[in-house]
Amino acid sequence: LKEMDDSHMLTLVIQEMSKEFPTFMESLVHERDQYVEELVRLPDNFHCCTPSPKAGPVCLTPALCNGFVTFGSFNNLAKVLQVWPKILCAIPNSLLVLKCKLFCYDSVRQRFLSTLEKLGLEPLRVDILPLILLNHDHMEAYSLMDISLDTFSYAGTTTTCEYLYMGVPCVTMVGSHAYNVGVSLLSKVGKNLKYFSMN
């Protein structure tokens, strides 16, 4: 590429722009026939993540001390809401820890807890955290959860990498292209894909 002049480089870029780069797991949901463009399979993964050197150590799962399971999500809360009460109602005594920038406002926290309560989840079963400014403290907050819940219909990316780096297992979904980001990331850390489900 270094030997190409600008016009040749532009031609190459225009040719490549007609190709779409789906995530690794796209073939699991048989969407190949929905693309007009040639599918280009990336050999490893579409995302590289370098964790902060200030991340701190991986901690033991809190359920060992607590005696109950704590689910968590540090993703964008706009992505999913109604499924969390269903999960917690299905697992008695479990808790949910959430982190969101807007939780620094009491009115937002109260409205959010009120919404969850209307959906059947007691506010005492939810621990909400505001934005955590220092990276070390942010990464340390992952030790509050036993199992992370990926969002849908658009999965997390950097947050999922942080879950995994801090030793927190992640539950994600297989589905359309936007769902499969989580599946793609998990497939590259040695997870057996037979355990993924479309449901």
Residue 10 lies in a domain: no
φ, ψ for residue 83 (rounded to 5)? -75, -30
Whole-angstrom Cα distance, residue 120 to residue 147? 21
Residue 91 lies in a domain: yes
Residue 14 lies in a domain: no
Cα dihedral sign, 169-172-178-182? positive
Percent of the chain with pLDDT over 70: 72
Whole-angstrom Cα distance, residue 145 to residue 159? 14
Whole-angstrom Cα distance, residue 141 to residue 154? 23
pLDDT tens figures, 123-166: 999 999 998 988 889 999 999 999 998 887 778 888 888 988 89
pLDDT at 4: 44
Residue 40 lies in a domain: no
Residue 13 lies in a domain: no
Residue 37 lies in a domain: no
Could you count the other beta carbons within 10 Å of the beta carbon of residue 181? 23
Residue 36 lies in a domain: no
Amino acid (one-letter) located at 4:
M
Token match 């200030």: residue? 54
pLDDT at 31: 59
Whole-angstrom Cα distance, residue 198 to residue 180? 11
Amino acid (one-letter) located at 100:
C
Find the domain containing 106 and state its range: 63-195
Residue 16 lies in a domain: no
Q: What CATH number has the domain bearing residue 150?
A: 3.40.50.2000
Structural domains in the chain (count): 1
**Tokens matching residue 62:** 């809190």
CA-based Rg of the chain, rounded to a whole angstrom? 20
- Between vectors from CA 168 to CA 164 and to CA 170, what angle results, nearest 5°? 75
pLDDT tens figures, 155-175: 888 888 898 889 998 888 877
